[in-house]
Amino acid sequence: MMDYSDIILAPVVTEKSAKNAQENVYTFKCSKSATKTQIKWAIEKAFGVEVKSVNTLVTKSKDKRVGRYTGQTKTYKKAIVTLKDGQQIEI
């Protein structure tokens, strides 16, 4: 089994995720091969909280351009984690 640091790569810090954090909903960038149960286990082990539910999605790449050169951003798996009442994560 993977270590929790291999599953959870980074928190996603945006205005929307900051607003959702006030309602016990946190967003993380995760490994593409991680399943919902592995993500739940990793969050509980890393932060010592109880997870209510995990929703996942794989982001699509976006076209980016620098001068005359074009490319695409990388895709990654995003996990939206809802914690049980009374739980909180400090990010």
Give the Cα separation of 17 and 54 in Å (integer): 15
> 47 in helix, strand or coil?
helix
The pLDDT value given to residue 90: 83
> 33 in helix, strand or coil?
coil
Domains and CATH numbers, the chain: 4-83 (3.30.70.330)
> 64 in helix, strand or coil?
strand
The pLDDT value given to residue 63: 96
The pLDDT value given to residue 91: 74
| Per-residue pLDDT reduced to its tens digit, 34-52 | 999 999 999 999 999 999 9
The pLDDT value given to residue 4: 87
Mean pLDDT of all residues belonging to the chain? 94
The pLDDT value given to residue 37: 96
The structure's pTM equals 0.87
The band of 76, judged by pLDDT with boundaries at 50, 70 and 90, is: very high
Sign of the Cα torsion 30, 33, 35, 39 reads negative
